[in-house]
């Protein structure tokens, strides 16, 4: 591979799992799962497969996305598939809380997308493909297929059993592709954690039988010490120049033992070459060499992810997430122009129903700050995975507090008076493994009685700062592993959330900056 360009993985960092991709001419579109968050199914656009920009959310109206209050964390919207057929975009996904697949269509992938058509077919991970007769086939985990009418939502034939991988648990994420007169069936197996793997089979007939590739799984990082783990849930795409690529999910775990991942499952990209009619990929690395002749823009670095929102626009940017719904009475960008005003709906972050507007944590080392006017209410900035796993910088009654909730435990780690009016608070995460000398309450949590020093189990340190007239003060530093998937379980990752749990509060701005790793 001479004259190779390189690019950086993950191409879409942060909690962006289960990628599905399609190409129309020179344009690529990619969607991810969104679970209990509203709006649902973020959609991205790229011209080079590396630099992605979110252009909207496919499910951005309550009548497309029913997430009833009983929707548990990591419930809701599972793996979507995006396809383009006959001038129309199709997105199909499963809402596990209503137990149905829903299909929406659009002519412009930035929206609006149609109201949903529901398909009452079991299993998860629906995918669509059209055969040579123009018939539409739905594949689902298991793995099986159904011939359907995608616009009426009716099943015309099936289930047709297909091929369930090499025997790994959870054969899922099936996608069918028509390539060189074959039907290729891509399947993930082994579960979405470190056993994850991608296998493939093919048939001349869409109804099978499918013959597996001689070497399966053709992509897995299981039982390796590679820094990127859990590689799987993939989708294939052919670039405009004829080259082939796989998008897939993976995790970047830190610390030991076991390693912890805190950003959720992220989207990675790997080039594919075909050998004797089967796809071959190299292991997924953070810096990947792209084959010579690939789109030249692959040499460019992806957006480092810094962003600031001054809340001057009358609409919330596509990257903002709420939990299960964003009722009109809970937020406003016009009530106090230039500020995001939030009104409490629920009274605690510990239960479903709180008013939160959140952005994903995209980097292991980063800082997120807000300027918040809590008024007479209770408001702040949280770093959360779910209702039972969050660290909060909370302001009420003239006091700023660091509050941690982990499983059934809730504790106030630090508090300090603040003057009335707007306060600037920041949460920073660092991946260093040595405790800094400023460490406070966190040490009591992570290493009772131990002197400051090496803490090999930590995946990161989360620090909580408040701006005062005398400069920024670190109120506490907590061990980040308690806000990891290994502790919290589930399919999502961390988000930074602006919230209010009593009265009303206004946010002047939100600022997110990646930071260079501090090292050991
Ligand atoms: C998804 C399944 C999986 O539906 O995790 O990694 C599930 N794979 O295919 C939820 O994201």
pLDDT in tens, 93-102: 999 999 999 9
- Statement: residue 442 has pLDDT above 50: no
Domain edges within the chain: 13-284, 307-514
Residue 434's pLDDT is: 47
Pocket of ligand 1 (CB under 6 A): 17-18, 33, 78-79, 124-125, 172-173, 192, 232-233, 249, 491
Q: Catalytic pick from 18, 189, 235, 477? A: 18
179-199 mean pLDDT:
97
Residue 291's pLDDT is: 83
Residue 72's pLDDT is: 93
Residue nearest to atom 9 of ligand 1 (CA): 173
- Statement: residue 453 has pLDDT above 60: no
Question: What sections of 38-134 are H helices per DSSP?
Answer: none
pLDDT band at residue 517 under the 50/70/90 scheme: confident
CB 507 within 8 A of CB 297: no
Instruction: Say how far apart CA 346 and CA 500 lie, in whole Å.
Output: 9
Cα of 127 vs centre of ligand 1, distance in Å, is: 13
Homologous superfamily, domain 13-284: Glycosyl hydrolase domain; family 43 (2.115.10.20)
Question: Which one has a higher pLDDT value, 301 or 430?
Answer: 430
Residue nearest to atom 8 of ligand 1 (CA): 192
Cα of 64 vs centre of ligand 1, distance in Å, is: 21
Cα of 22 vs centre of ligand 1, distance in Å, is: 19
Which ligand 1 atom sits nearest the alpha carbon of residue 141?
A: 9
Question: Which one has a higher pLDDT value, 453 or 33?
Answer: 33
Give me the CATH code for the 307-514 domain, please.
Answer: 2.60.120.200
Residue 237, C-beta contacts closer than 8 angstroms, at least 6 positions apart: 21, 22, 23, 28, 49, 244, 245, 246, 247
Cα of 45 vs centre of ligand 1, distance in Å, is: 22
Residue 300's pLDDT is: 67
254-273 mean pLDDT:
93
Residue 445's pLDDT is: 43
pLDDT band at residue 4 under the 50/70/90 scheme: low
Cα of 77 vs centre of ligand 1, distance in Å, is: 10
172 carries an active-site annotation: yes
Residue 439's pLDDT is: 46
Q: Which of 116-120, 240-244, 450-454, 470-474 has the lowest mean pLDDT?
A: 450-454
- Statement: residue 346 has pLDDT above 90: yes
Cα of 158 vs centre of ligand 1, distance in Å, is: 23
Instruction: Say how far apart CA 170 and CA 190 lie, in whole Å.
Output: 6
Cα of 76 vs centre of ligand 1, distance in Å, is: 12
Nearest to 354 by CA among 287, 405, 303: 405
Q: Give the containing element (helix H, strand E) for 158.
A: strand 154-161
- Statement: residue 504 has pLDDT above 70: yes
Per residue in 129-150, pLDDT (tens digit) is: 999 999 999 999 999 999 999 9
Percentage of the chain exceeding pLDDT 70: 92
Please choose from 15, 32, 40, 79 the residue to mutate so as to test ligand 1's pocket, defined by most ligand atoms within 8 A of CB.
79
Residue nearest to atom 10 of ligand 1 (CA): 78
- Does 39 sit behind a cis peptide bond, omega within 30 degrees of 0 on the bond before it? yes
56-75 mean pLDDT:
94
Predicted model pTM: 0.94
Instruction: Say how far apart CA 146 and CA 140 lie, in whole Å.
Output: 9
Q: What is the 3-state secondary structure (H, E, C) of 416-447?
A: EECCCCCEEEEEEEECCCECCCCCCHHHHHHC
Residue 456's pLDDT is: 54
Residue 450's pLDDT is: 39
Please choose from 92, 171, 233 the residue to mutate so as to test ligand 1's pocket, defined by most ligand atoms within 8 A of CB.
233
CB 162 within 8 A of CB 143: yes
Please choose from 73, 140, 172, 197 the residue to mutate so as to test ligand 1's pocket, defined by most ligand atoms within 8 A of CB.
172
Instruction: Say how far apart CA 217 and CA 237 lie, in whole Å.
Output: 19
Residue nearest to atom 5 of ligand 1 (CA): 192
Long-range contacts of 396-402 (CB under 8 A, 24+ apart): 396/502, 400/425, 400/466, 400/475, 402/441, 402/464, 402/475, 402/476, 402/478
Q: Catalytic pick from 60, 172, 392, 460? A: 172
- Statement: residue 242 has pLDDT above 90: yes
Regarding beta strands 366-373 and 399-406, do their DSSP bridges make them parallel or antiparallel, or are they unpaired? unpaired
329-333 mean pLDDT:
98
CB 462 within 8 A of CB 439: no
Residue nearest to atom 6 of ligand 1 (CA): 192
**DSSP state letter for 368:** E
Per residue in 301-327, pLDDT (tens digit) is: 666 789 999 999 999 999 999 999 999
Q: Which residues is 474 bridged to in the sheet?
A: 465
Which ligand 1 atom sits nearest the alpha carbon of residue 232?
A: 6
Instruction: Say how far apart CA 218 and CA 237 lie, in whole Å.
Output: 16
- 175 by DSSP, 3-state: which? strand
Residue 61, C-beta contacts closer than 8 angstroms, at least 6 positions apart: none
Residue 294's pLDDT is: 73
CB 350 within 8 A of CB 388: yes
503-518 mean pLDDT:
93
Which ligand 1 atom sits nearest the alpha carbon of residue 172?
A: 9
Residue positions counted in the chain? 520
CB 345 within 8 A of CB 38: no
Taking the CB of residue 216, how many other CB atoms lie within 10 A of it?
Answer: 20
Instruction: Say how far apart CA 406 and CA 390 lie, in whole Å.
Output: 7
Please choose from 15, 17, 168, 198 the residue to mutate so as to test ligand 1's pocket, defined by most ligand atoms within 8 A of CB.
17
Cα of 17 vs centre of ligand 1, distance in Å, is: 8
Residue 130's pLDDT is: 98
């Amino acid at each position: 591979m001479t004259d190779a360009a390189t690019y950086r993985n993950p191409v879409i960092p942060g909690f962006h799992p289960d990628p599905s991709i399609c190409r129309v001419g020179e344009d690529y579109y990619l969607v991810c799962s969104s679970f209990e968050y509203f709006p649902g199914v973020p959609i991205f656009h790229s011209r080079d497969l590396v630099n992605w920009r979110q252009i909207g959310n496919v499910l951005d109206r309550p009548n497309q996305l029913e997430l009833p209050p009983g929707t548990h964390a990591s419930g809701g919207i599972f793996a979507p598939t995006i396809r383009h057929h006959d001038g129309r975009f199709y997105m199909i996904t499963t809402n596990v809380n209503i137990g149905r697949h829903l299909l929406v269509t659009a002519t412009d992938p930035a929206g609006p997308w149609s109201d949903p058509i529901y398909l009452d077919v079991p299993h998860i991970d629906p995918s669509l493909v059209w055969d040579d007769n123009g018939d539409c086939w739905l594949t689902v985990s298991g793995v099986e297929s159904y011939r359907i009418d995608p616009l009426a939502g009716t099943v015309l034939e099936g289930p047709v059993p297909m091929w369930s991988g090499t025997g790994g648990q959870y054969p899922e994420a099936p996608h069918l592709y028509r390539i060189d007169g074959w039907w290729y069936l891509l399947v993930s197996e082994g579960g979405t954690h470190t056993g994850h793997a991608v296998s493939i089979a093919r048939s001349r007939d869409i109804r099978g039988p499918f013959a597996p590739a001689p070497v399966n799984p053709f992509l897995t990082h299981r039982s390796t010490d590679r820094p990127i783990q859990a590689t799987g849930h993939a989708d294939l795409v052919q670039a405009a120049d004829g080259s082939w690529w796989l998008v897939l999910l993976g995790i970047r775990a830190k610390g030991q033992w076991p390693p912890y991942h805190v950003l959720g499952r992220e989207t990675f990209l790997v080039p594919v070459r075909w050998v004797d009619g089967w796809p071959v990929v190299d292991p997924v690395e953070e810096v990947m060499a792209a084959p010579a002749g690939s789109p030249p823009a692959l040499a460019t670095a992806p957006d480092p992810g810094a962003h600031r929102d001054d809340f001057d626009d009358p609409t919330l940017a596509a990257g903002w997430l709420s939990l299960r719904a964003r009722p009109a009475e809970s937020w406003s960008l016009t009530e106090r122009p230039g500020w995001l005003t939030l009104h409490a709906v629920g009274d605690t972050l510990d239960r479903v129903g709180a008013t939160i507007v959140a952005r994903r944590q995209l980097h292991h080392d980063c800082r997120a700050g807000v300027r918040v006017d809590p008024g007479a209410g209770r408001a702040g900035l949280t770093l959360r995975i779910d209702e039972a796993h969050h660290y909060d910088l909370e302001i009420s009654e003239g006091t700023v507090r660091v509050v941690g909730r982990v499983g059934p435990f809730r504790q106030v780690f630090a508090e300090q008076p603040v003057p009335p009016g707007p306060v600037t608070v920041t949460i920073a995460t660092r991946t260093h493994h040595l405790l800094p000398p400023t460490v406070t309450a966190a040490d009591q949590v992570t290493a009772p009685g131990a002197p400051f020093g090496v803490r090999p189990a930590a995946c990161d340190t989360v620090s909580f700062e408040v701006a005062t007239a005398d400069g920024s003060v670190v109120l506490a530093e907590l061990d980040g592993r308690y806000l990891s998937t290994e502790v919290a379980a589930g399919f999502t990752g961390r988000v930074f959330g602006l919230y209010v749990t009593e009265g009303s509060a206004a946010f002047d701005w939100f600022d997110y900056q990646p930071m260079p790793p501090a090292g050991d």
